Amino acid sequence: MKFAYGQTVYRDRRIQVPDPYNPTRTEPGPWSSAVSIVIEGAYVGPASSVAVADPTRNQLQVDRSLYCPPTADVLVGDRIRTGSETFEVRELPDAPTNPFTGWRPVLEVPLERVVG
């Protein structure tokens, strides 16, 4: 499924670099060297926001969902950008399959952004 009035959505993924303390392992590199792709036919839809209680500062956690083709390459740890907003992928994306037809209409990716 492609949305006729979708948004320009970018997916950023950090490249893996050797762990300086254990070269047999890798870890995500800096965001400055992340690889970006455009996810075609996608949009970020509203979900919710909640105030995070903290005695020393005010924060607002903004939750949204990215809706995109089920074959889109999005993983936990990626960053999603659209317009002036940047979100983190902190939960597993899900593309449910209809058990009768095998149809997978869309991949839903929960997004999170903390403001403040």
- Using 70 as the pLDDT threshold, list the residues of the chain that sit under it: 1-4, 52-54
**Domains of the chain and any CATH numbers:** 7-115 (2.40.10)
Give the pTM: 0.83
Q: Is 39 exposed, middle or buried (0-12, 13-18, 19+ CB in 10 A)?
A: buried
Tell me the pLDDT tens digit for each residue of 13-24.
999 999 989 989
113 in Cβ contact with 88 (< 8 Å): yes
pLDDT, position 32: 94
Tell me the pLDDT tens digit for each residue of 72-86.
999 999 999 998 899
DSSP state of 95: -
